[in-house]
Amino acid sequence: MQRTAVNPWDWSLKLGYNQAEVIEGAARQLICAGQTAVDAEGNPRHLGDMRGQIALALDNLEAVLTNADMGLRNVVRLGLYTTDVDEALKNFDLFGMRFGPIRCAPPMTLLGVSCLAIPGLLFEIEATAMG
């Protein structure tokens, strides 16, 4: 799979994402359901802790990717949902810590929502991966 970044402007690179990517030669596509801060039994964790919830949602995303014989470098798009955009943005370094070392900057969208499916959850990550 070859990824070519499309960035008419460079401001998004400072935030860790490309405006778009051209994906060529991908044989498999994985569409991930929203991953949140829940444990293996589906119980919410880190209530009231945005940073903890983002970190666990990323852990859960990595678990799904691993189970599909993929990893974060295969992610080509992220959809992010939060009940508090300002608080989420304060913790976006977590994305840089995970995606930066592998030099992956998938296009993403961050949306503020009034609530998520399970009470107490603050953050959800949808991903599309290709490999």
Domain ranges of the chain: 2-130
Q: How confident is the model at residue 39 (pLDDT cuts 50, 70, 90)?
A: very high
Q: What is the pTM of this model?
A: 0.87
Q: How confident is the model at residue 12 (pLDDT cuts 50, 70, 90)?
A: confident
Assess whether pLDDT exceeds 80 at residue 26.
Answer: no
Task: Please report where in the chains the tokens 């949808």 appear, as a residue.
Answer: 126
| DSSP three-state, residue 24 | strand
- State pLDDT tens for residues 84-129: 999 999 999 999 999 999 999 999 999 999 999 999 999 999 999 9
Mean pLDDT for all residues in the chain: 94
Cα(46)–Cα(91) distance, rounded to whole angstroms?
A: 14
| DSSP three-state, residue 96 | helix
CB 76 within 8 A of CB 129: yes
H or E, element range at 90: helix 85-90
Q: How confident is the model at residue 34 (pLDDT cuts 50, 70, 90)?
A: very high
Q: Which CATH number fits domain 2-130: 3.30.1330.40, 3.20.20.100, 1.10.620.20, 1.10.540.10?
A: 3.30.1330.40
Q: What proportions of the chain, in percent to the nearest 5, are helix, strand and coil?
A: 30, 30, 40
CB 61 within 8 A of CB 70: no
Cα–Cα distances in Å, from 38 out to 7, 29, 30, 46, 79? 35, 24, 21, 9, 18
